[in-house]
Amino acid sequence: MIRYIAKGGRRAVIWPAAILCGAVLLAAAGQAGAIERRRPQFTDEPAHLVLPMAYNLPGLGGGWGVMALLTNMAGTRIDAYAVGMQGDLEGGVLGVLDMQVIHERLILSLESQYFTKAAKQLYTLRGMDSRKDDFMIGVADKVEGTFPSAVLTFADRMVEFGYMQGDQAARAVAYVTPSGVRYDLPTKEIVRFDTRMASVRLDWTDDYYDPHLGLRLLLMRNFSAGATAGQPVFNTDTYLLTGYIPLGKRSTWVLATRGSGAAMEREGLTDRAAIRAKLQPCFGDPACNAAVTRQVENTYNANKYGTAASLGGDNFLRGYPADRFVGSQSLFYGTELRWDFTDERSPFDYFVWKDIRTALQLAFFYETGSVGDAPGDVGKSWRDVRGVGFRFITHAGFAYRFDYSVFDEGSATVIMFSYPW
């Protein structure tokens, strides 16, 4: 299933994966052999969180929003979440999750988004050589998407098959530099994206949500088909292998490796002059000309080689901006030491936040990764992240995560509601 074409890539993946598997198998043998779940994998207790948010985008502006999470609503096992944004981003996201069509066997979910104003930070160089300020803000309106998904689960959630289909559309209207200079696009066409993803999850661990022992393998294939003329058609195969090794009664050593590769089915538009004609004319502005030239090269590489799972964001090289490092191939290694300094079951209800606390956790982590477009590029240059985190683990399956990371360009704080891997 996995195509990994970078020179030396197979060796770079096989040996760490073999060592990881061996370490976990030895740990399992020390725990009396067969791994068993340590609690029921479907929960019934209701939980909720309502959280205000503020944001600021360099060169564009800021605003505020509200997020709500609800689990096991109205005596069911159905979960839901909603996000509403105001300011320089306007719109929202709504998801209804874990609808058990067949009890503890077939699970359906539906997520939808709509924004009348949206923006995304876009780095102007693929690969590993981009600098901190080598980005522009892509501004769009009429952004919408629908994402239905299904999961078929067996053996106490140790084996799962998943499928997701995404239909997205957006109209790009402008680019904004980090200093706030805006370049309006001459043509404002609506671009459509069709994405499908099939997955297999093998979860030989002692818990689906908060594992302390075992191995987890996630295999994914993304089918990306541009619904607009000039877009490429390609498949992306990605694996994520994670091992959990207990250290004493309360600590867990986690090892993870992820590889991803794109396989082109049909190239998109690769005529650089035609790509440039779709972008804003610069009228002799040197800064604009440099940015447009980089954007043309980015689009050319994406249309020729495809795009694999990126690095950056909240989980892989956490602290770097999302999609900071992009290429047709990517490779990631990570390790994390998790210490649960309390593990009692403690219900709480603070009106806007209700759940059952199961652990307070301190974590120390290190991550490294590399991306590239041409065969052999992966592994030539690496970026590293290290840091410390505090986690609030709950019975509903959330890991409220506050991570502080440092890297070559500074530091960052990541706030999320689940483990990175």
pLDDT tens digits, one per residue of 313-359: 999 999 899 999 999 999 999 999 999 988 888 999 999 999 999 99
Give the separation between CA 202 and CA 160, rounded to whole angstroms. 7
What digits encode the pLDDT tens for the residues 99-119? 999 999 999 999 999 988 888
CA distances from 329 to 39, 77, 261, 264, 310 (A): 38, 38, 4, 12, 9
The pLDDT score that the predictor gives to residue 13 is 45
Residue 108 identity:
L
8: left (phi over 0), alpha (psi -120 to 50) or beta: left
Contact 67, 81 (CB under 8 A): yes
In sequence order, the 6+-apart residues with CB closer than 8 A to the CB of 93 are 81, 82, 83, 111, 112, 113
Name which residue leads in pLDDT, 325 or 295. Answer: 325
Q: What is the pLDDT of residue 263?
A: 87
Altogether, the residues listed in the chain come to a count of 421
Rounded distance, CA 334 to CA 314, Å? 13
Is the pLDDT reported for residue 35 higher than 50?
yes
Is the pLDDT at 280 greater than 80? The verdict is: no
Residue 169 tokens, joined: 């559309």
Predicted local confidence at residue 383, as pLDDT: 95
The number of CA neighbours under 13 Å toward the Cβ of 266 is 10
Tokens of 418: 């689940």
Strands 383-394 and 399-407: antiparallel
Inter-residue contact 328 to 237 (CB < 8 Å): no
Per-residue CA distances from 102 to 76, 85, 98 (Å): 13, 35, 11
Count of CB atoms situated within 10 Å of the CB of 313: 17
Q: How far apart are CA 108 and CA 158, in angstroms?
A: 18
Half-sphere exposure of residue 173: CA atoms within 13 angstroms, side-chain side = 11
Give Cα separations from 56 to 50, 62, 120, 145, 280 (angstroms). Answer: 20, 4, 12, 23, 25
CATH of 9-416, one of 2.40.160.50, 1.10.10.60, 1.10.760.10, 2.40.50.100: 2.40.160.50
| Secondary structure element (H or E) that encloses residue 207, with its range | none
pLDDT > 50? residue 10: no
Domains of the chain, by residue range, sit at 9-416
DSSP string, 279-311: SPP-TT-HHHHHHHHHHHHHHHHHHHH-----B
Quick one: 292 exposed, middle or buried, by C-beta within 10 A (0-12, 13-18, 19+)?
Answer: buried
The winner for highest mean pLDDT among 18-22, 167-171, 286-290, 292-296 is 167-171
β-bridge mates for residue 226, sequence order: 193
Q: How far apart are CA 348 and CA 356, in angstroms?
A: 6
pLDDT number for residue 169: 87
Say whether 13 sits in a helix, a strand or coil.
helix
| Least confident segment among 17-21, 282-286, 402-406 | 17-21
Instruction: Determine what percent of the chain falls in helix, strand and coil, rounding each to the nearest 5.
Output: 10, 55, 35
The residues, any chain, with a CB within 8 Å of residue 108's CB and separated by 6 or more, are 99, 101, 148, 149, 150, 151
Q: Is the pLDDT of residue 370 over 90?
A: yes
Greater model confidence, 291 or 273: 273
